[in-house]
Amino acid sequence: MRSSYFRLPIVILLISIFIIGCGGEDINFPGKSSSKTGEKYAFKEGEEGFRVKEFEGMSTAPGLVFIVGGTFFMGGGEKDIEYSFDNRKRQVSVSSFYMDETEVSNLDYKEFLYYILQDSGEFMYNTLYPDTSIWLRDFTYNDPMHEYYFSHIAFNTYPVVGITWHKANVFCQWRTARVNNKLLEKDPEAILWPRYRLPTESEWEYGARGLLEQENYTWEGKSLRTPYGDFKANFKRGRGDYQGWAGGSSGKLYRHLTDGATYTAPVKAFYPNDFGLYNMAGNVAEWCEDTYRMLSFEDVDDLNPVRRFGKTKVRIDRLLDDTGYQKDISLLHNPDPGRRAGAEEDDNIKVYRGGSWADVAYFLTAGSRRFMHADTSSNTVGFRCVMTRLGSQH
């Protein structure tokens, strides 16, 4: 009996070795030598031969959540109250990607401006500063938000607003350079992360749904409250009702009658969806990469769909140079008159998704889509970044 007891671990070990030997080979490891020439690879600095760096898989960059891609039904949802018919349900596939856990906060954007001031000077700092005048209205007293929402420390963890589509893209470019420079400081031969960018509509909706593709909202069911009665998002419940009745968060009797936010709420308020993403519905809506067209669902591909331009017949080779995407972005700032006469203005109509603190529940649905000019901003629209997953999709 005792000998059998000690023999069991040995048997398990032998079985494990057999399994690893049969199917446990790392398919990403290229081997010690070339399979085509037989030449030995150099894996270490100073070794002779063709240098090959080992790659164990892409890690998660700061602030992001990994989202495994897949096929889902995009669009559809609640009754189309605006009769726009601009997001018909159809099946598409999205590659794996990473998405910001939260909306970009005031503190995040202040950090960005701090380094912009150091690196690029006061003019660029002022150019990229959020437009705080978005809070001013003739018939409402939003003056304190105009004066303090971005500047005061009390709102550090709240989502940044007053950001145009272009400013959001500059933030993405700066963030990419910043995190990769930190990698290079530690290791001059570090494998760099891909660029941060705005999500495509398909990525945004896939992330918002959290694999609950048959649901209207970013959570399961049609209720806007948790089983305990708390609101699941920050939104406007009806005419004049942005927050709920007084005493909602403190009194026992009325604690479920308010979402606790007259305007925006902190970026980690409320429960995250099944991907671990906060406020994909409510709080602030978010910029997407796409140019808006009502019938985009008829034109775009069914694999990683995106609409960069208003018209479909575009010669991409005329728009991209050796730096790839960077020229594409610069054309939106300084359109080439010879590119597509009369279409530049149309290309600057960009999509934003998700409801906000000032929207009724209809706009909290994952399928709703709206648009705004890339050079304008709002106190209801912010943004979050995404990053492409390279290599293995899992």
- The 8-class DSSP code of residue 238 comes to B
- Residue 382 and residue 103: Cα distance in Å, rounded? 7
Q: What is the mean pLDDT of each run of 10 residues along the chain (394 residues)?
A: 51 48 64 87 83 85 96 83 79 97 98 96 96 94 96 97 97 97 92 96 96 90 84 89 65 56 93 96 96 88 89 43 41 40 64 95 92 95 97 86
- Residue 278 and residue 275: Cα distance in Å, rounded? 9
What does the pLDDT read at residue 247? Answer: 55
- Residue 308 and residue 311: Cα distance in Å, rounded? 9
Around 223, how many Cα atoms within 13 Å sit in the side-chain half-sphere?
8
What does the pLDDT read at residue 339? Answer: 39
- Residue 216 and residue 233: Cα distance in Å, rounded? 14
Tell me the three state secondary structure of residue 355: coil
What does the pLDDT read at residue 229? Answer: 78
Query: What is the residue extent of each domain of the chain?
Result: 1-56, 64-388
Q: In what order do the strands lie in the sheet with 349-353?
A: 369-373, 349-353, 285-291, 381-382
With 0-12 / 13-18 / 19 or more C-beta atoms within 10 angstroms meaning exposed / middle / buried, residue 177 is middle
For the domain made up of 64-388, give the CATH fold.
Answer: paralog of FGE (formylglycine-generating enzyme) (3.90.1580)
With 0-12 / 13-18 / 19 or more C-beta atoms within 10 angstroms meaning exposed / middle / buried, residue 292 is buried
What does the pLDDT read at residue 45? Answer: 77
